[in-house]
């Protein structure tokens, strides 16, 4: 290490990630310049190459642009907002305000392969709830103009009307890059659930088949949302929508069960030495078993369509697994013990009428009037309770009113879990005639943040009341690889907001003439933006170095100078604008894996910079960078 490397200030380039995966499988197809030799790939794969012009697949106007969007790294950052957070220093939960495409790009380095479950409720493309740039392009500039962070030049987010010639294409162009990037964040055994209705359910299946692979399709859940009327329709009363689910790798995914202790398994309320059960009727409207008669206690021979075969019934009778009782109407009922040996499987039909309504969720925190038709927290709890285990992360990048965050906080309070949420929401303005606007919420993101605050306050109040009753629900035994520990609940969240980078990043697209290049060079003499705050710079470097936004940060003091220790000293970040030989040596003595300093901290002292390289090298610091 003879020179100091520069710290990259962009998000993880997706092409690099894809090439690295390909290199693992086919190292022989790469040329010296890290290019792919297609002829060699054809030789490697032989007859598996499809060279025909006609093939099964799906295309639409703008699909090629989707890949350009995916491949374009983000130069944005996420700025911390501790004043809008709760327990900012210690919480592992995140609420990110910003365009989810840019945010997903920024999360690629830090959260690659770390998310267990994604639940999203994207726009259904109804014609009035769809947000997308009018000029068919997406960039940080579009978002900054939309949120008023730069001068408005006409770009804005708008609705997608069904009179548009590319009504479905625009929706697919919005969804494709987001789903592509989201897949990268899933763990190998991770799962995604996507709410959708009839308008785009087929297109969504096509998109997911291409991105996740048709072989990784799990289920299409029919969610019954209404009964007795349904939504307005000329021909039918619509009472349902859908939840489409795919896994990252179906072969890595174990069975998904709702555990015994879940509220959804309450009907299994009886227990014996074999486990939990409830008495279920043997009679069915249809059965494949051969007909047979069962003798009642009074000698009556009962005939019916029995759920279990005669052989199985006789065996269960000997074991005490069946009973015959007289009902209130005087008839006999044959029953058996319905058991849940591993847990109850998530069913492909979800009837919301069996659970509390979404309005009940909001009434409990006095927000019932500010957000129409949110998903009920019981839906997300039902999907996640058997899948998202202790310390797992659940991501929702169409967060809306933060139903997912509400669900996870509630679920953790019920069973003592330590699941974490990441919610991403565009600061979409509320309608000025809406109850939310009248209540002081100017954006949907503001509603989501306030909902999380109120849920935390509600849980804290319930916890305090339970403690008075000599019940301590805030300390739960948590099983982790057979070790039982005591754990405090995470009743907090960190707020971050999408913004321009704190550093002036070189624009390769500037006009190639001397005046423009000279102007750009002079603009980079001081490459840190004047308004950049130290904490914002710190978190940008942390994020773009591949550390999670919830990683522990400690402030170390050496004389009058400050160094930030990340992840128990794995990374040291020094933002001092005047470095000294002693400070460099103090940092090196801590033997971190990585060190990042401001380039201007060397004050153009090349000798100090050379000495710094040698000092770091002598202490085993293999990754020393400046920015």
List, for residues 348-362, the tens digit of each pLDDT value. 888 776 666 667 778
Separation CA 299–CA 315 (nearest Å): 20
Q: Both 279 and 156 in a single domain?
A: no
CATH number at residue 87: 3.40.50.150
At residue 481, the pLDDT reads: 35
Higher pLDDT, 351 or 82: 82
Helices (H) and strands (E) in the chain, counts: 18, 28
What band does 513 get if pLDDT is binned at 50, 70 and 90?
low
Q: Both 362 and 334 in a single domain?
A: no
Separation CA 593–CA 621 (nearest Å): 6
pLDDT tens string 216-243? 999 999 988 765 555 656 678 888 899 9
First to last CA, the chain: 17
What band does 544 get if pLDDT is binned at 50, 70 and 90?
very high
SS3 64: helix
Among 313, 339, 365, which residue terminates a domain? 339
Mean pLDDT score of the chain, rounded to an integer?
A: 84
480 CB-near residues (< 8 Å, 6+ apart): 390, 391
Q: Both 102 and 126 in a single domain?
A: yes
Short-list 61, 57, 63, CA closest to 166? 61
Separation CA 600–CA 528 (nearest Å): 10
Short-list 493, 613, 614, CA closest to 95? 493
Residue 572, domain member (yes or no): yes
525 CB-near residues (< 8 Å, 6+ apart): none
Locus of tokens 């002036």: 504
What band does 477 get if pLDDT is binned at 50, 70 and 90?
very low
Q: Residue 250 has which token pair?
A: 């179906």
Task: Tell me which H or E stretch contains 436.
Answer: helix 435-438
At residue 227, the pLDDT reads: 56
At residue 476, the pLDDT reads: 39
With a cut of 50, say whether residue 473 has pLDDT above it: no
**% of the chain surpassing 70 pLDDT:** 82
With a cut of 60, say whether residue 523 has pLDDT above it: no
Q: Both 325 and 354 in a single domain?
A: no
Short-list 423, 420, 418, CA closest to 451? 423
Locus of tokens 């550390």: 547
With a cut of 70, say whether residue 516 has pLDDT above it: no
| φ, ψ for residue 490, nearest 5 deg | -90, 95
Residue 292, domain member (yes or no): yes
pLDDT tens string 260-318? 555 555 667 788 888 778 898 888 877 777 889 999 999 999 988 898 889 999 999 99
Long-range Cβ contact pairs of 296-301 (< 8 A, separation 24 or more): 296/324, 296/332, 297/324, 297/332, 300/332
At residue 475, the pLDDT reads: 39
Residue 441, domain member (yes or no): yes
Residue 515, domain member (yes or no): yes
Separation CA 191–CA 175 (nearest Å): 17
Which whole number is the average pLDDT over 125-153? Answer: 68
Which whole number is the average pLDDT over 105-127? Answer: 92
CA-based diameter of the chain, in Å?
105
Domain span holding position 606: 509-626
DSSP per residue, 250-312: GGGPPPPEE-TTSGGGTT--EEETTEEEEEEESB-SS--SPP-EEE-TTSPEEE--BSS-HHH
Do residues 391 and 419 lie in contact, with contact meaning Cβ atoms separated by under 8 Å?
yes
Among 339, 359, 392, which residue terminates a domain? 339
Q: Both 87 and 106 in a single domain?
A: yes
Q: Both 387 and 284 in a single domain?
A: no
Residue 180, domain member (yes or no): yes
Residue 240, domain member (yes or no): yes
Q: Both 284 and 425 in a single domain?
A: no
Candidate from 238-247, 361-370, 378-387, 579-588 with smallest mean pLDDT? 361-370
With a cut of 80, say whether residue 509 has pLDDT above it: no
Candidate from 312-321, 338-347, 505-514 with smallest mean pLDDT? 505-514
Residue 581, domain member (yes or no): yes
At residue 349, the pLDDT reads: 86
With a cut of 60, say whether residue 603 has pLDDT above it: yes
Among 300, 319, 339, which residue terminates a domain? 339
Candidate from 53-67, 89-103, 459-473, 544-558 with smallest mean pLDDT? 459-473
Which whole number is the average pLDDT over 517-541? Answer: 73
Q: Both 564 and 522 in a single domain?
A: yes
**% of the chain surpassing 90 pLDDT:** 45
At residue 51, the pLDDT reads: 67
Which whole number is the average pLDDT over 464-474? Answer: 67
pLDDT tens string 242-256? 999 999 999 988 877
With a cut of 70, say whether residue 204 has pLDDT above it: yes
Q: Both 535 and 607 in a single domain?
A: yes
Residue 552, domain member (yes or no): yes
Q: What's the Cα-to-Cα distance from 157 to each of 17, 163, 558, rounded to whole Å? A: 30, 17, 48
At residue 485, the pLDDT reads: 43
Q: Both 330 and 353 in a single domain?
A: no
Identify the DSSP state of 524: T
At residue 376, the pLDDT reads: 87
pLDDT tens string 6-16? 888 888 888 88
Domain count for the chain: 3
What band does 211 get if pLDDT is binned at 50, 70 and 90?
very high
With a cut of 60, say whether residue 602 has pLDDT above it: yes
Higher pLDDT, 609 or 521: 609
Q: Both 353 and 293 in a single domain?
A: no
- Torsion angle in degrees (nearest 10) through CA of 87, 114, 379, 192: 150
Q: Both 617 and 525 in a single domain?
A: yes
At residue 483, the pLDDT reads: 35
């Amino acid at each position: 290490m003879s020179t100091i490397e520069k710290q990259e200030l962009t998000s993880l380039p997706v092409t690099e990630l894809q090439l690295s995966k390909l290199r693992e499988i086919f190292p022989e197809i790469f040329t010296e310049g890290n290019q792919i030799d297609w002829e060699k790939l054809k030789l490697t794969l032989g007859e598996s190459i499809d060279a025909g012009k006609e093939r099964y697949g799906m295309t639409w106007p703008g699909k090629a642009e989707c890949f350009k969007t995916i491949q374009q790294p983000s130069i944005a950052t996420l700025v911390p907002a501790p004043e809008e957070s709760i327990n900012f220093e210690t919480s592992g939960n995140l609420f990110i305000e910003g365009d989810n495409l840019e945010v997903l790009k920024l999360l690629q380095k830090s959260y690659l392969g770390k998310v267990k479950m994604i639940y999203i409720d994207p726009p259904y493309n109804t014609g009035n709830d769809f947000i997308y740039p009018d000029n068919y392009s997406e960039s940080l500039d579009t978002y900054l103009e939309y949120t008023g962070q730069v001068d408005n030049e006409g770009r804005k987010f708008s609705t997608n009307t069904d009179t548009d010639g590319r009504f479905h294409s625009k929706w697919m162009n919005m969804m494709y890059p987001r789903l592509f990037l989201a897949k990268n964040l899933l763990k190998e055994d991770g799962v995604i659930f996507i709410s959708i209705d009839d308008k785009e359910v087929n297109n969504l299946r096509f998109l997911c088949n291409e991105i996740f692979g048709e072989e990784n399709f799990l289920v299409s859940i029919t969610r019954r949302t209404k009964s007795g009327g349904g939504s307005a329709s000329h021909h039918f009363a619509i009472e349902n929508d859908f939840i489409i689910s795919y896994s990252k790798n179906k072969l890595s995914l174990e069975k998904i069960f709702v555990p015994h202790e879940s509220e959804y398994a309450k009907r299994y309320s009886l227990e014996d030495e074999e486990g939990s059960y409830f008495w279920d009727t043997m009679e069915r409207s249809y059965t494949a078993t051969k007909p047979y008669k069962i003798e009642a206690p009074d000698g009556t021979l009962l005939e019916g369509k029995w759920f279990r075969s005669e052989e199985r019934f006789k065996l269960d009778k000997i074991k005490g697994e069946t009973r015959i009782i007289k009902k209130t109407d005087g008839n006999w009922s044959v029953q058996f013990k319905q058991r849940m040996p591993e847990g109850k499987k998530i069913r492909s039909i979800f009837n919301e009428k069996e659970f509390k309504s979404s309005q009940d969720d909001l009434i409990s925190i006095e927000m019932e009037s500010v957000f129409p038709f949110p998903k009920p927290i019981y839906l997300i709890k039902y999907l996640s309770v058997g899948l998202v285990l202790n310390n797992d992360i659940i991501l929702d990048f169409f967060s809306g009113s933060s139903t997912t965050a509400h669900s996870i906080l509630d679920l953790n309070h019920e069973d003592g879990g330590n699941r974490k949420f990441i919610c991403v929401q565009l600061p979409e303005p509320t309608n000025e005639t809406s109850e939310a606007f009248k209540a002081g919420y100017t954006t949907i993101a503001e509603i989501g943040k306030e909902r999380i605050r109120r849920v935390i306050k509600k849980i804290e109040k319930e916890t305090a009341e339970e403690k008075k009753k000599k019940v301590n629900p805030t300390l739960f035994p948590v099983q982790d690889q057979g070790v039982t520990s005591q754990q405090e609940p995470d009743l907090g969240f960190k707020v971050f907001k999408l913004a321009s980078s704190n550093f002036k990043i070189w624009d390769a697209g500037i006009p190639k003439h001397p005046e423009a290049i000279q102007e750009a060079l002079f603009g980079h003499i001081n490459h840190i933006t004047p308004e950049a705050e130290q904490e914002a710079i710190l978190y940008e470097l942390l994020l773009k170095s591949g550390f999670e936004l919830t990683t522990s940060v400690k402030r170390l003091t050496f004389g009058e100078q400050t160094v930030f220790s990340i992840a128990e000293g794995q990374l040291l970040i020094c933002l001092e604008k005047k470095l000294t030989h002693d400070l460099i040596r103090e940092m090196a003595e801590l033997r971190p894996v990585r060190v990042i300093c401001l380039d201007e901290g060397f004050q153009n002292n090349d000798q100090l910079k050379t000495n710094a390289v040698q000092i770091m090298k002598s202490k085993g610091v293999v990754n020393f960078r400046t920015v």
